[in-house]
Amino acid sequence: MIGKDIRIERIMDRNTGRAVIVPMDHGFSMGQIDGLLDMTKVITDVSDGGANAIVLHKGMVKRGHRKHGRDIGLIIHLSGSTSLNPDPNDKVQVCSVEEAIALGADAVSIHINLGAPNESKMLEIGANVARDCTRWGMPLLTMIYPRGKGIDPFSPQSVGHAVRVAEELGADLIKTNYPNDPEAFRKIVKACSVPVFIAGGEKTGDLESLKIIRQAVRAGGAGVCVGRNAFQREDTRTFVKTLCRVVHEESDPEIVLGHRK
């Protein structure tokens, strides 16, 4: 497992064992969205802000290789679907582990929606990717969510089930929903043998976002995978810098934002 260990060190902070990951794969599903129009600039802003890693689709790697400035971990996303599909929760594999290795990836990621009509296909893809990751020593970030008819995507039971499925499939890192209950999340994290990150979700206010992230970290979370809540900020670099302080130092959001002394 030495290959996985070496690569994970490029993503997880050695001192805190946590990470701030910024997914930028949204263009595949949503098109030319605000915040991801100038990829080179936004990747530079996120890197300068101190983020540990970014998530890109394979065709965008060339726009992220800036040849200057601070380096940043590269996670290549292997799953895809578009909002034009009647079922955008139906994820298929659009890149292989071998392709990701050739592109210089430090890890790969997949997306699984538990409870969706095509859950079985996504689980099969996840199992095959996990096998390839073991073969090549490539860390696997599994983005897994409870998403289906009649399912509460934030209930501790649903989130805990998602985390367990990802772990049993062979994930090295897991991204899922935060159940909005620190004690419930603490129980979920404690029962899992690999780092668990919370999803950033849709854009919200700075203070609201940071308070939730700090709460999750203090409950044992490994950090955050935050996309739109980072790259759609007016000042992405400053927000990411603040986010890193909350994740790695557990800083009080109200203090780092200057709301109180």
Residue appearing with tokens 């499939």: 169
User: Which segments of the chain are extended strands (E)?
Assistant: 19-23, 53-56, 73-77, 79-80, 92-93, 107-114, 140-146, 173-176, 196-199, 223-225
Distance CA 176, CA 113 (A): 10
Q: Residue 141 contacts by C-beta under 8 Å, 6 or more apart in sequence?
A: 21, 55, 75, 107, 108, 109, 110, 171, 172, 173, 174, 175, 225
Q: Which two tokens stand for residue 225?
A: 């995978």
**Average of pLDDT values for 64-79?**
88
pLDDT tens-digit map of 113-164: 999 999 999 999 999 999 999 999 999 999 999 998 899 999 999 999 999 9
Distance CA 151, CA 127 (A): 23
Residue appearing with tokens 């990621």: 109
Catalytic residue among 25, 45, 106, 172: 25
Residue type, 201: G
pLDDT tens-digit map of 54-68: 999 999 999 887 777
Cα 224 to Cα 26, 38, 155, 246, distances in angstroms: 16, 23, 19, 10
pLDDT tens-digit map of 208-256: 889 999 999 999 999 999 999 899 998 999 999 999 999 999 998 888 8
Residue 25 annotated among the catalytic residues of the structure: yes
Which of left, alpha, beta for 27 (phi over 0: left; psi -120 to 50: alpha)? Answer: alpha
Is residue 86 exposed (0-12), middle (13-18) or buried (19+ Cβ within 10 Å)? Answer: exposed
Q: Is the pTM of this model over 0.75?
A: yes
Distance CA 36, CA 46 (A): 12
Which CATH number is correct for 2-256, 3.40.30.10, 3.30.70.260, 3.50.50.60, 3.20.20.70?
3.20.20.70
Residue type, 53: A
Element holding 232 (H helix, E strand): none
Report which of 29, 6, 19, 106 is spatially closest to residue 61, judged by C-alpha positions: 106
Catalytic residue among 45, 91, 106, 175: 175
pLDDT tens-digit map of 91-109: 999 999 999 999 999 999 9
Question: Which three-class secondary structure state does DSSP give residue 108?
Answer: strand
Catalytic residue among 106, 145, 172, 178: 145
- Asked whether residue 260 carries a pLDDT value surpassing 70, the answer given is no
